[in-house]
Amino acid sequence: MASLLVKILCVVCMYGFGPLNSNFVHGATDSSLAWDIRIRETLNKLQTRPCWGRSRGSQCDDSMIVGMDTRKMRLFIAQGQKKSSLRVVLPDRRQRRLTSRSHRNDSYDAVFVLDPYPDTNFGHVVFIFLVDFDMNQTVCRNMNGVPVNTGREECIRRAEKVHCKNRIAHRQVKCEINFIPLVYSVNDGKRKQLLHCHGSLSTRQFARCGKRDDQNELSPPCSGNSAHRCSIGNRPKSQDFCFHTTCDHAVLVSGGWNPDTNHPRYRQNLHQMWKLLHSEMHYKPEKIVTFFGQGQKSELHDRQRDNSFFARNPTGVKEYIKKLCGSRNCADSITLYLTGPSTSDGALLFHDNGDGITDDSELYTPKQLLEDVKNCTATRLFIVADYSYSGAMVNRITSRMRRHPDQFKNLVATSSGSWDEYSWRSEFTEAFVRHNKEGRRTKCVADVFEEIKQEFHTKGALSTPLKTPRDGGRSNTTYTTLSGRRCNETRLTAKFSRPCQLIPIDKLLQKPDPNGNN
């Protein structure tokens, strides 16, 4: 994948582009021409030397791709006001310097970002370029930059994760910069984002900017007068013990970090999964809980809204999943669906506190997820993950299942791609819903997965779905539907299935396992 990214940049200057929007700000009167020059020189340099600006010892593949349409790349631009330079912040908590010859608190006169994959879900690789004004050619080259003359001497440098330069090739994805950075004026204590998308310059056309979530949509008003309630949000109710019936339950989760990483498709995914579980798998609406980290309830299914909750951080999500998995006799099947922006280690991101840096309170990691579902009391637990790097979650679960099989004996997890692959649009979710619905008879979870995998292979998709391996015959979790019923039933027969069943007396009288096993 890393080689493909470099190849895209190698040919990016082969195509023409078109006029900078009249509302472009942050620059002088010659900003349009200056930006044309900066970007043209940068792309020309990348074509002749794809690895320029990278530290010695860092991994780089300089092979070429012919015929790539670079108008599919997205451009972001920021330029400081007079007497005010820019500071650049990456979400990576470990990142302190942006180039091998910079310092922790360096500032810049202008910044631009190229996003080669605007159709993928963040995180995915982006390329950041830093511009310094009034720097002579000798100093610029000594700093591993490209000298540019826009009427004044300027220097363009390429940002990188300096602490990653000695990583081995097959772990190169960990060294990618995979989020749009926060770029703000050094004089702005509120850190307002100055980096904005532009579909065109005077002579160059880039990808359309697309719909972007408003900041207001990420912070719905708090209900009530309690500041504590405002910080934690409303929480769904859950039971510790069920006396009469056991039911199928679902938890649908969409993360959300900031306007640059969010997208309406995440709410659409939640909507589609809710319809599948209720209409096809016959889960009761009150047993499907939705957590959304962005957007508004109005974007969800109308019957989904009553049991949906804004999640500013993952605390409420974790508590509900853990309590549901720990409840006695309450859950027959549990479906857990995850989508949203994510880090390269497979963690879902939640609401940024405004500093542009991820911290533990904003992350739901695969390790935390495993702790929440360990020894789950449900008869079967399905995890469906559609986000970039979601294979990291499946890999961690697989590793834990091998070491502690009794703790996860009823669990099946599927992901939209491998640990180093991106999630493209809503391809996996759409395929998952479609394959579960199509045909005259119901399908096993395992069969649905194989159909999706074959479909992706046939059409040449850029990600390969993963699934936890077979459990050695200890359970038949993958050989049921999402509602736990037999496969290959007629749709009419399945329609009359009951999402809740009476709990047998002997199960009610059964003492809980002190080790937490079912």
- Identify which of 398, 408, 409 has the alpha carbon closest to the alpha carbon of residue 474: 409
Alpha carbon 501 to its chain's center? 36
Residue 48 three-state SS? helix
- Pick the range with the lowest mean pLDDT from 286-295, 312-321, 434-443, 489-498: 489-498
- Identify which of 190, 309, 349, 35 has the alpha carbon closest to the alpha carbon of residue 43: 35
Look at residue 23 in the predicted model and tell me its pLDDT. 35
- The packing angle between helices 265-275 and 427-437, to 10°, is 10
Provide the 8-state DSSP code for 204.
B
H/E run at residue 74: strand 74-79
CATH architecture of 246-501: 3-Layer(aba) Sandwich (3.40)
Tokens of 223: 């209900």
Q: What is the pTM of this model?
A: 0.88
Q: For 94-224, where are the alpha helices, taking DSSP H only?
A: 137-142
Mean pLDDT of the chain: 83
Residue 236's identity, in one-letter code, is: P
Residues 447, 57: Cα–Cα separation, whole Å: 45
Q: How do strand 245-254 and strand 500-502 relate by DSSP bridges?
A: antiparallel
The partner residues of 380 in beta bridges, in order of sequence, read: 333
Cβ atoms 74, 115 nearer than 8 A: yes
Mean pLDDT of 419-433: 96
Look at residue 102 in the predicted model and tell me its pLDDT. 72
Q: For 163-297, where are the alpha helices, taking DSSP H only?
A: 227-232, 265-275
Cβ atoms 7, 66 nearer than 8 A: no
Residues 158, 60: Cα–Cα separation, whole Å: 13
Cβ atoms 151, 30 nearer than 8 A: yes
**Residue for token pair 């059409």:** 459
Cβ-Cβ contacts under 8 Å for 476 (sequence gap 6 or more) = none
Look at residue 61 in the predicted model and tell me its pLDDT. 54
More confident of the two residues 293 and 512: 293
Cβ-Cβ contacts under 8 Å for 485 (sequence gap 6 or more) = 442, 494, 497
Q: 121-175: per-residue pLDDT in tens? A: 999 989 999 999 999 999 999 998 999 999 999 999 999 887 665 455 555 677 8
Q: Is the pLDDT of residue 56 over 70?
A: no
Angle CA(339)–CA(182)–CA(214) in degrees, nearest 5? 55
Residues 133, 83: Cα–Cα separation, whole Å: 12
Residues 434, 119: Cα–Cα separation, whole Å: 21
- Provide the percentage of residues in the chain whose pLDDT is more than 70: 79
Look at residue 59 in the predicted model and tell me its pLDDT. 62
Q: Domain extents for the chain?
A: 34-198, 246-501
Tokens of 118: 């605007």
Cβ atoms 65, 7 nearer than 8 A: yes
Cβ atoms 250, 217 nearer than 8 A: no
The partner residues of 385 in beta bridges, in order of sequence, read: 338, 415
Look at residue 242 in the predicted model and tell me its pLDDT. 81
Residue 132 three-state SS? strand
Q: How do strand 245-254 and strand 288-292 relate by DSSP bridges?
A: parallel
**Residue for token pair 């080790």:** 515
Look at residue 165 in the predicted model and tell me its pLDDT. 55
To the nearest 10°, the Cα dihedral for 319, 322, 326, 330? 80
Residues 477, 414: Cα–Cα separation, whole Å: 13
Cβ atoms 154, 49 nearer than 8 A: no
**Residue for token pair 């003492």:** 511
Look at residue 105 in the predicted model and tell me its pLDDT. 67
Residues 517, 448: Cα–Cα separation, whole Å: 28
Residues 245, 305: Cα–Cα separation, whole Å: 24
Look at residue 21 in the predicted model and tell me its pLDDT. 42
Angle CA(413)–CA(332)–CA(508) in degrees, nearest 5? 140
Query: In angstroms, what CA-CA distances link 304 with 252, 278, 285, 383, 429?
Result: 11, 10, 7, 20, 18
Q: 23-52: per-residue pLDDT in tens? A: 333 333 347 899 999 998 988 888 777 778
Which string of b and e fits 375-405 if b means at least 16 CB within 10 Å?
Answer: bbbbbbbbbbbbbbbbbbbbbbbbebbeeee
Mean pLDDT of 278-307: 91
Tokens of 103: 């310092």
- Pick the range with the lowest mean pLDDT from 97-106, 195-204, 305-314, 455-464: 97-106
Residues 261, 252: Cα–Cα separation, whole Å: 19
